[in-house]
Copies of this chain bind each other. A is one copy, B any other.
Amino acid sequence: MTERLDVVAMGNAIVDVLASVDDAFLDEMGIQKGIMQLIDTARADEIYRNMGPSTEISGGSAANTVAGLAALGARTGYLGKVRDDQLGTIFAHDIRAQGAVYDGPIAPEDAELETARSFILVSPDGQRSMNTYLGIAGQITPDDVDEALMHRADWLYLEGYLFDNADAKEAFRRAIGATRAGGGKVALTVSDPFCVDRHREDFIELISSRVDLLFANEDEILSLFRTDDLETAVAAASEIVECAAITRSEKGALVTSNGNRFEVPTEPQKPVDTTGAGDLFAAGFLFGMVTGRDETIAARMGCAAAGEIIAHVGARPQRKLAELFAEKGLV
C-alpha cells in the first residue's frame, strides 16, 4: 500500500526572479505595487530588459507552502507543470530536494511554452510586486491531475492563482474528488485580490461546496465578499466554510472555526521581503492541523513561519522552522 501524505498541493510551478528596485522604477514601468500581475512574453521581455541583476529561487505560492511543510518534517506532495528546460530542472530539483514527492507534469523540451517565471520586484519597504509569465504552468489540464497522488492526501491544498488557467476548474474538481475518495480534506488559498475579481463566483461556489479550510489575507477576503468591512467579510466567510484563517500583515491573523473566532498577534519586525508570507503562514497553519494541534496553536505556527520568511529575500525558508517553533514554545 502506498504511504499516506500529510499535504498534497497543486499550483503554478514558478521560478522567482528577484531584484531590488526603487519606487521610481515601478512608476516608470507602470507596475502596481504589492500585487500579482499576469504578463505576456513581450511584457516579460520588457521588464527583464529594464530590471537590475537578479537572483533565481524556486517559488510558486503552493510550492512555497509545500517547501515550508517539508522543512518542518511533514510528508508532502506537489503537482504543478514545468517544461523540461533549465528552469524546469531547477524547480523540480528544489522541491524534491526539500523532501516533497514531485512528478511534474513535465512537458517535453520542445513544448512551445517555457517553464513559468515571476519577476518579483522588492521595494525598500519590503513589499513585492510580482509580474508572472505563466508559460507552461498555465496549461494544466484535468488529464494532468495525478489522482493516485491526490488519493494519498490527508489534506489537499489548492492555490487560487490556478483559476487563471483555462482548464483549472475542472482539474480542481478532479483533484478534490480523488482526495475526498481517499478520506482527505480540502484547503484553498485565495491568492490575490485581483485574482478574486477575475473569478469571484467560481471561488464562492467552490468554497461553499467543497472547501474545509480557507486561507485569505484582508484584501482578498474583502474582495471576495465585495465589502470594505472586515467583520462583514469574516461573518460571510464563516457562513460558507468550516474554518477560515485570515492574515493581516503586522496585525497577525484572525481565525473563525465552527463559529468560534479568535485573533493571534505577530511579533513586530521590519520586513526585508514579504514574498511568501502568506504561503508560509499556510505552511505553519497546516503543520498544526496535520499534527493534531488546535487552530490557536496552528495560527501561531503560521505567524511564526511567516515571520521567518519576511526576514530575508526569497519565499523558501532559510532556517530550520522546527527549531524556530521550539524557540517559541510551539512544539
Taking Cβ atoms with an 8 Å cutoff, the residues of A that contact B are: 48-49, 51-58, 67, 85-87, 90, 93-95, 97-98, 114-115, 314, 316
Nearest Cβ in chain B — how far from A140, in angstroms? 21
Chain B neighbourhood of A90, CB < 8 A: 54, 56
Report the bound CA distance from A45 to B212 in whole Å. 41
Q: How far is the CA of A97 from the CA of B48 in the complex (A)?
A: 9
Q: A48-B93, A93-B48 are in contact. Are A53 and B316 (CB under 8 A)?
A: yes
What chain B residues lie within 8 Å of A114 (beta carbons)? Answer: 86
Contact status B56-A57, CB under 8 Å: yes
Q: Are B98 and A53 in contact (CB under 8 A)?
A: yes
Query: In the bound complex, do residue A314 and residue B86 qualify as a contact, i.e. CB atoms below 8 Å apart?
Result: no
Docked CA distance A86–B115 (Å): 10
Bound form: Cα–Cα A264–B51 in Å:
37
Set B54, B85, B98: member contacting A52, Cβ < 8 A: B98
A54-B87 in contact (CB<8A): no
What's the Cα separation between A93 and B17 when bound, in Å?
Answer: 12
Evaluate contact between A93 and B54: CB separation under 8 angstroms. yes
Q: What's the Cα separation between A48 and B87 when bound, in Å? A: 14
In the assembled complex, how far is the CB of residue A302 from the closest CB belonging to chain B, in whole angstroms? Answer: 21
Instruction: Other than A51-B97, A52-B98, A54-B93, give 18 A-B pairs with Cβ distance below 8 A.
Output: A48-B93, A49-B93, A52-B97, A53-B58, A53-B67, A53-B95, A53-B97, A53-B316, A54-B90, A54-B97, A55-B55, A55-B57, A55-B314, A56-B56, A86-B86, A86-B87, A86-B114, A86-B115
Contacts of A57 in B (CB 8 A): 55-56
Whether the Cβ atoms of B94 and A53 lie closer than 8 Å is yes
Contacts of A49 in B (CB 8 A): 93
Which residues from B are CB-within-8-Å of A52?
A: 97-98
* A-B complex: 4 closest residue pairs judged by Cβ atoms: A56-B56, A86-B86, A53-B94, A53-B97
Inter-chain contacts of A86 with B (CB < 8 A) = 85-87, 114-115
18 examples of A-B residue contacts, CB within 8 angstroms = A48-B93, A49-B93, A52-B97, A53-B58, A53-B67, A53-B95, A53-B97, A53-B98, A53-B316, A54-B94, A54-B97, A55-B56, A56-B90, A85-B85, A85-B86, A86-B86, A86-B87, A86-B114
The residues of B that contact A316 with a CB separation of less than 8 Å are: 53
Contacts of A85 in B (CB 8 A): 85-86
